[in-house]
Amino acid sequence: MTLPQVLAVAIFVIMFGLITWGKVHRYIPALGGAILVLVVVFLLVMNNPEHIRNVLNLQQLVDRKFWFPHEGSLPSRGINWQTIVFIAGMMIMVEGLAKVGFFRWMCLGVVRIVRYRVIPILISFMLLAGFLSMFIDSITVMLFLASVIVEVARLLKFDPVPLIIATIFASNTGGSATMSGDPPNIIIGTSFGYTFMDFLTEVAPISWVCMLLAVVYFYLAFRKRLMANRPDGARAPTEAYPRPREAIPHLGLFLVHTGIFILVVALLVAHAHIGISVATTGAIGAVLTLLATGKRAAHTIRQIDWRTLLFFIGLFVCVGGLEETGVQRIIAEGIEGVAGSNLTSVIAIILWLSAFASAIVDNIPFAATMVPVVSHLALTPGLHMDPMAFSLALGTDIGGNATPIGASANVVGTAVSEREGHPIGWGIYLKYSLPPMIICIAVCNLLLFIKY
C-alpha cells in the first residue's frame, strides 16, 4: 500500500473506533477525520487539490440533474448530497408531524384498537414500527415509539423492555424494505441510482418475510414475561386510558401535516416516474412543512439534528479518502480473490460480512464504506450490481439489530428506555436480538439465492 492509502485507512479506522467507543458524539470524530483526509492526505501528501473537489462534490447541488434525474444521471462519489438533502428535508417534516401529535395519536389509536391487551400491543407495535420505518427514518420511529411504549407500560403495569427490544428489531427490519427506510438504504439507493420502487419490489418481500418471523419469535420469547404480573381483571376500565384525540393539540394543523406526509410518501413511490430525485422529494416536504408551520418555521429549522447531518458529511469525506486513494479497489479485489466471479459466493460474503460488521459497529459508516467496493465488484464479469447492492442493504439493516450499538435506532431506543428508568444491558439485548438476527440473515441468504 502507498503512503496515502495507509494514512486514509489509519484515519478511517481511528474515526470508526471513536464512533464505536461512543464517549463523544459521532459527528466529532467524523468531522475530525474529514479534515485530516482533506488536509493531510490530499493536500500535504498527495499535493492534489482536485481530490478535494471530487470528494466535496459541491457542483452537484447546482446541476439540474441532481434535482431532476430524468435529464441524465450524475456519478456518485464523495459526499452523497442526495442523502444529506433528503434526510434534512425528512427531519423538518417529521418535526412538524411530532408537533401536531401525529405519532402519539397513531400509537394510542393502535393501543385502543387492540383493547389495551399486552400481547396484541406487542404484535401491533412491531407491525406499526415496521410499517412506519418503510417511509420515515427508523431513528425517528424509535424516538417516538419508545416514549409511548414506556407511557403505555405505566398505564397497563407491564415491563416495557421486551416491547422496546422487539420494536427496535422491527423498525430496522421494516426499514430495510424501502430506499427511504434506513440511512444505509438511502446511501445505497442514491449511490447506485435505485428508486423507491426498486427496493419495494426487490427487497421488501424478503424484509417482510423476516418481519413475520421476528413477530413469531418475539411472541414466543416474551409472552410469559409480559403476562407474568398481569392476572385476569387487572386492567382499569377503558375510560381510564388516554384517548387518541387527546394527542392532537390542533386538529386543523394535524390534518395539514398529515396531508404533507401522505404527499411525500406518494412522491417517494412515484419519484422515478415523474422525474424528480429523492432530494427533491425531501426538499418539497421541508418547504411545505415550513409554510404550514408559519411563524414557528425558524424554531422548526433549529430543531433539525444538525449534528447528524455533520456526521454524514464527515463520514462521506472519510470514505471518499478511501475511494480516491484506491483502498476500496483493493478491498474489492480481495473479495473477488476469495469468491472469484461466483455470484452465489459473493452474495453470501457481502450479506454475512455486512451483518456481523454492522452488529459490532454502526451500520451507517459500514454501508458507506462498502458502496464503492460493490461498485468495483460490479465491473467483474458475472457479478451483477442488484444482488450485491440488495445483499448489502439487508445485511447492514437487519444485521444491525444484533447489539445495542449496531444501528442508530438501537442507540435511540435503549437511551429512551434508560432515561425512563428501564435500562437495557448488553446481556439481555444480545439474548433476545442476536438469535433472530442470525435466523433472518440465513433466510435472506436463502431467498437471495433463489431469486438471483
Q: Is the pLDDT of residue 153 over 90?
A: no
Residue 371's alpha-carbon distances to 117, 279, 311, in angstroms, are 44, 19, 17
Q: What is the pTM of this model?
A: 0.83
pLDDT of 282 > 90? The answer is yes
Q: Which strand (E) or helix (H) includes residue 371? A: helix 363-377
Residue 132, pLDDT above cutoff 80:
yes
Residue 395: left if φ>0, alpha if ψ -120 to 50, beta else—which one? alpha
Taking the C-alpha atoms of residue 314 and residue 15, their distance in angstroms, rounded to an integer, is 10
Residue 61 is placed in which grid cell? 447541488
The closest alpha carbon to 265, from 72, 101, 102, belongs to 102
Contact call for residues 303 and 93 (beta carbons, < 8 A):
no
| Per-residue pLDDT at 208 exceeds 90 | yes
Q: In this predicted model, what pLDDT tens digit does every residue of 137-152 receive, in sequence order?
A: 888 888 888 888 988 8
Lowest mean pLDDT among 12-21, 108-117, 311-320: 12-21
- Predicted pLDDT of residue 272: 82
Task: Give the pLDDT confidence score for residue 271 in this predicted structure.
Answer: 87
At 62-95, the pLDDT tens digits run 888 899 986 556 666 788 898 899 989 988 998 8
Confidence check: pLDDT of 310 > 50? yes
Q: What is the pLDDT of residue 41?
A: 94
Cα–Cα distance list, 64 to 47, 71, 189, 192 (Å): 31, 8, 19, 18
Alpha helices (H) in 296-342, listed in sequence order: 297-302, 306-324, 327-339
Closest by alpha carbon to 331, among 5, 26, 95?
5
Q: How many residues does the chain have?
A: 452
Backbone dihedral angles phi then psi of residue 102, each to the nearest 5 degrees: -60, -50
Distance between CA atoms of residues 448 and 290, nearest Å: 42
Average pLDDT over residues 157-177: 93
Q: Once rounded to an integer, what is the mean pLDDT over residues 258-271?
A: 92
Residue 219 near residue 117, CB atoms below 8 Å? no
Task: State the pLDDT at residue 233.
Answer: 40
Mean pLDDT for 26-51 is 93
145-172: average pLDDT: 90
Q: pLDDT class for 259, splitting at 50, 70, 90?
A: very high
Cα(13)–Cα(19) distance, rounded to whole angstroms?
A: 10
What average pLDDT does the structure give for the chain? 88
Domains of the chain by residue range: 3-56+102-247+305-451
Q: What is the mean pLDDT of residues 381-408?
A: 90
